[in-house]
A and B are shown apart, each in its own frame.
Chain A
Amino acid sequence: MYRYDEFDAKIVNQRVAQFRGQVERRLTGALTEDEFKPLRLMNGLYLQLHAYMLRVAIPYGTLSAAQMRQLAMIAERYDRGYGHFTTRQNIQYNWPKLGDIPDVLQHLADVEMHAIQTSGNCIRNTTSDPYAGVARDEIEDPRPTCELIRQWSTLHPEFTFLGRKFKIAVTGAETDRAAIRVHDIGIQIVRNAEGEIGYRMFVGGGQGRTPMIAPVIRDFLPREDLLPWLEAALRVYNLHGRRDNKYKARIKILVHEMGADNYAREVEEEFARMDRDVLTPDAEELARIDAYFAPPEYADLPAESARLAAAKKADPAFARWVDQNTVGHKTQGYAIAVISLKPIGGAPGDATAEQMRAMAIAAERFSLDELRITHEQNVVLPYVKLDDLPSLYALLKSQGLHAANLGLVTDIIACPGLDYCALATARSIPVAQAIAERFADEDRQRRIGPLALKISGCINACGHHHVGHIGILGLDKAGVESYQITLGGAPGEDASVGERTGPGFSYEDVPDVIEKLVDRYLEIRQPGETFLQTYRRAGMPAFKEAIYAAA
């Protein structure tokens, strides 16, 4: 894992001290809220319905056990004993007090974490493939690239006041688990015909009010040109992006309005003009970063584990969990294990301090000290020996972390919605809970197969509803919650934006409607077809008819 150098540590510590002074001045009245608000937002501190909310960055979703323990300690000491993992691979605390925030930030700095650039119109935390470094289909670990971007973008003077927030995601694999096509900039590590590794650059994707799939703006970018090219791409946006209307200020609108070709031309012109050398990191720094992400020393293990096979035979629930929640590892004898934070009855993405501690222990004992947060709000243990899976499962089970539903209908993404969020138009978590309860039966879930259900509590789409196979958007219709359903969205390499079924449904009716959609799929699917495939083949009418049939 990446470790701060002196420079990183210095900036973060200085920032904590600076914010401590700002909080003091706010509490004594020397700063008004108008003066203070931009300062707190720069440090990830929002004000929600019931309390302040602190959003902590988890760079490209990677955490050490010690960092996870610190997050648990903060949840316990400064919050109500839990935290919420978000679709941007971050964690949010829902109940901290203003006067405590400087201490919380100091505790974070002590374990090389911070909340800088988790809010505001700047370049946010770069997200990545949660299976980075261990996926079988990977060309290269994307995290050194993410780290390079993190260093370049942190406190970048030119890009601190962009027209809007700016999100970058990187994947190193063909299978896109980082949803790069719905980011402002999506980066895919690719190999060209000559066998050289470089980057394919997607620009102008996004969700929110105007969902768009990003076009490719540069098909192959040599590795050393990454930072200058990003700088050029951002500069063109900063120059031409709209600032008069916040709903039209994201780069996707600019790329759309200019046309991808024109945008690409301007970027290339800027790129040709600029002094690229100042931005090209020296080989020593690149080597330093790479070294942190060097593959661990794997043990030489057989491909099969007798212990695992015996444990699966003895405990069908364990066998189900292994089948559903572990993923093939690139190294023989190892598995990628995914901890679902979606138990039936829980709030998607929430974990208690106890659970965080259990996950830290699991990482220490079974996963070389490392954890990853996924944009699906789950937690990955990237280096588990097949032999260790039974012991890992027992530990997870003792903390209620053993839901065997990865990628199934109850593995729902949901944003905080109207239960917490000041911008929400409707609730999302209780809707997710009602649907999960409806489909609680594990056999039924497995019969249904892969199904990504995603819920947002307003048009900002933090719950990624546009790219859900089934998407649910909560709106307010004259004071009443109303839920719009979309079908056929997908976030990956076959990205698409879901289509609206028609008029919305009441809060109470949502589980019935989802059940009817799922039943219709089961009725008409062809052998081996997933929900998404059936939808893409059969189209909207077949599903629409199931939910709007005349009474």
Chain B
Amino acid sequence: MAKAFKPQVLTGNALHGGESVWWTGARWSDDFADAMAASTPAEVEMFEALAVAPFTQGLVVGAYLAEVRQTPQGLMPATRREAIRAAMRPTFDYMAGAEEATRAA
């Protein structure tokens, strides 16, 4: 039996700013919520071609396919790594330590 099909998004980092971006089907967006999931093998193939296309190369660095899950709330990244990328920031309050320490003084 074929392996269960897993939907995927096409993602990478923007060439100029380096921020994470996702392919929406029409453009690159820095919001994971806009991402389009490839939900058929044909769409996955299209994404694979797009990942290495000159058009992508000029805008996005290191484009790759990442697994996602369909949930009642919509698409969710399938791994913690991708979830951290989709949040566009570290999981801890990355400026708080220093600020708090300054306040406490």
Stretch at the interface among B2-10, B15-23, B37-45: B15-23
- Is A350's CB within 8 Å of the partner chain B? yes
- Is A429's CB within 8 Å of the partner chain B? yes
Smallest Cβ distance from A76 to chain B, in angstroms?
Answer: 13
Smallest Cβ distance from A525 to chain B, in angstroms?
Answer: 31
- Is B91's CB within 8 Å of the partner chain A? yes
Check A82 against B98 for contact (C-beta < 8 Å). Answer: yes
Stretch at the interface among A5-13, A26-34, A163-171, A277-285: A26-34
Q: Could you tell me the distance between the alpha carbons of A345 and B101 in the complex, rounded to whole angstroms?
A: 8
Check A50 against B89 for contact (C-beta < 8 Å). Answer: yes
**Which residues from chain B contact A401 at a C-beta distance below 8 Å?**
101
What 1/0 flags go to A394-412 for Cβ under 8 Å of B? 0001111111000000000
Check B16 against A430 for contact (C-beta < 8 Å). Answer: no
Tell me which residues from 1 to 57 in chain B have a Cβ below 8 Å from any Cβ of chain A.
13, 15-20, 57
- Is B71's CB within 8 Å of the partner chain A? no
Number of residues from B at the complex interface, CB < 8 A: 34
- Is A515's CB within 8 Å of the partner chain B? no
Check B101 against A400 for contact (C-beta < 8 Å). Answer: yes
What 1/0 flags go to B85-96 for Cβ under 8 Å of A? 100111110111
Of the candidates B17, B78, B91, the one having the most CB atoms from chain A within 10 angstroms of its own CB is B17
**Cross-chain contact of B95 among A82, A97, A397, A430 (Cβ < 8 A):** A82
What 1/0 flags go to A31-54 for Cβ under 8 Å of B? 011000000000000011111100
Stretch at the interface among A307-315, A327-335, A351-359: A351-359
Smallest Cβ distance from B74 to chain A, in angstroms?
Answer: 20
- Is B72's CB within 8 Å of the partner chain A? no
**Which residues from chain A contact B85 at a C-beta distance below 8 Å?**
49-50
**Which residues from chain B contact A449 at a C-beta distance below 8 Å?**
none
- Is A420's CB within 8 Å of the partner chain B? yes
Q: Could you tell me the distance between the alpha carbons of A350 and B92 in the complex, rounded to whole angstroms?
A: 13
- Is A99's CB within 8 Å of the partner chain B? yes
Check A33 against B57 for contact (C-beta < 8 Å). Answer: yes
Smallest Cβ distance from B67 to chain A, in angstroms?
Answer: 10
Smallest Cβ distance from A383 to chain B, in angstroms?
Answer: 25
Check B97 against A346 for contact (C-beta < 8 Å). Answer: yes
Check B95 against A49 for contact (C-beta < 8 Å). Answer: no
- Is B68's CB within 8 Å of the partner chain A? no
Q: Could you tell me the distance between the alpha carbons of A402 and B27 in the complex, rounded to whole angstroms?
A: 49
- Is A433's CB within 8 Å of the partner chain B? yes
What 1/0 flags go to A349-369 for Cβ under 8 Å of B? 011101100000000000000
Given known contacts A82-B98, A400-B100, A98 and B17 CB-to-CB distance under 8 angstroms: yes
Check B84 against A419 for contact (C-beta < 8 Å). Answer: yes
**Which residues from chain A contact B94 at a C-beta distance below 8 Å?**
347, 350, 419
- Is A290's CB within 8 Å of the partner chain B? no
Check A430 against B91 for contact (C-beta < 8 Å). Answer: yes
B-contacting residues of A (Cβ < 8 Å)? 26-27, 29, 32-33, 47-52, 80-82, 95-99, 343, 345-347, 350-352, 354-355, 397-403, 418-420, 424, 427, 429-430, 433, 479, 481
**12 additional contacts (CB under 8 A) given A346-B97, A402-B105, A420-B90:** A33-B15, A49-B85, A51-B19, A82-B95, A345-B96, A346-B101, A350-B98, A354-B102, A401-B101, A419-B91, A424-B81, A479-B78
Question: Ordered nearest first, which 5 A-B pairs have the shortest CB separation?
Answer: A400-B101, A346-B97, A419-B90, A51-B18, A52-B18
